[in-house]
Amino acid sequence: MLFVPLWDMNPMKRVRFQFVTVGLILLNCAVFFFFQMGILYPVGDMLLIDYSVIPSELLRSAQAPTGIEPPPTDLRGPQSLILPEEITLLTYMFLHGSVLHLAGNMIFLWVFGDNVEDCMGHLRFLVFYLLCGIFAGLTHAFISVPSDVPMIGASGAVAGIIAAYLMLHPHVRVWVLVLYRIPLRVSAGFALAVWIILQIVNVYMDTSGNTAWWAHIGGLVAGAVLIIFMRRPGVPLFDKATGIKAST
């Protein structure tokens, strides 16, 4: 990761508190620490398999005749909790592979999610977040049709928030930590444009297969399209405010 966002100078105008943003962060953390890490209930890696998006299984389920459930694969195993594959398009985005994976997504959600929630309202923001995650999962599945590698993480949904924020507040100043050590204040448009360019470059350059870059692209596209229709009436796109008050 080239930079980590720390804080944006962009107070909310329409909601008193970002309940959905905070709730999503708490839910993601609770799932990771209480279930994946086994603090509350030791399920561990079982969650990663049962509730992840597996492209080959998702598309096989979609092609199955109505009313006939496709048989479970060896990957999920005979003791797995078999869910309808379509449900994994929701569950996968609340799982993470490591503390760093979780922290990276939650930092972006914390810094940028509140203002997107502010421009939509609580309920529409929740629907927006889930739709971005679903579209991200579908994009990854269709690009990776034969893959049986589980995909998890909130990155696709967070990418939708990044696209929405960029279209709402490109000029707002954001403090970022470049290369994890250099604090720098830049415009949101610059910081997020760099992030988006890196996702596109990695689609073609990163051949390791460890990151679902196409899910990020799918989330970005979904966020850019949905913000046009889901923002409150009167909320402008590409606001020119910088978040910095002019001196008197």
Per the domain annotation, does 67 fall within a domain? no
Task: Return the closest-CA partner of residue 158 out of 93, 96, 213, 100.
Answer: 93
Looking at residue 19, its pLDDT comes to 97
Q: Rounded CA gap, 69 and 73, in Å?
A: 12
Per the domain annotation, does 68 fall within a domain? no
* SS3 (DSSP) at 35: helix
Per the domain annotation, does 246 fall within a domain? no
Per the domain annotation, does 238 fall within a domain? no
Looking at residue 248, its pLDDT comes to 34
Per the domain annotation, does 50 fall within a domain? yes
What is the count of structural domains for the chain? Answer: 1
Which CATH number covers residue 206? 1.20.1540.10
Strand boundaries in the chain, DSSP class E: 3-8, 173-178, 182-187
Quick one: what percent of the chain has pLDDT higher than 90? 66
pLDDT band at 78 (very low <50, low <70, confident <90, very high): very low
CA 172 to chain centre: 21
Per the domain annotation, does 243 fall within a domain? no
Looking at residue 71, its pLDDT comes to 45
Residue that has been written with the tokens 């995650």 in this structure: 133
Per the domain annotation, does 164 fall within a domain? yes
Model confidence, pTM: 0.89
Looking at residue 123, its pLDDT comes to 97
Residue that has been written with the tokens 């979609």 in this structure: 62
- Residues 2-39 have pLDDT tens digits of 789 999 989 999 999 999 999 999 999 999 998 888 77
Per the domain annotation, does 144 fall within a domain? yes
Q: Rounded CA gap, 128 and 161, in Å?
A: 9
- Residues 112-170 have pLDDT tens digits of 999 999 999 999 999 999 999 999 999 999 998 888 889 999 999 999 999 999 999 99
Instruction: Please state at what angle helix 155-168 crosses helix 122-143, rounded to 10 degrees.
Output: 120
pLDDT band at 247 (very low <50, low <70, confident <90, very high): very low
Q: Is 116 exposed, middle or buried (0-12, 13-18, 19+ CB in 10 A)?
A: buried
Q: Rounded CA gap, 86 and 26, in Å?
A: 24
Domain that holds residue 11: 3-62+78-230
Q: Rounded CA gap, 218 and 157, in Å?
A: 9
Q: Are 3 and 194 in contact (CB under 8 A)?
A: yes
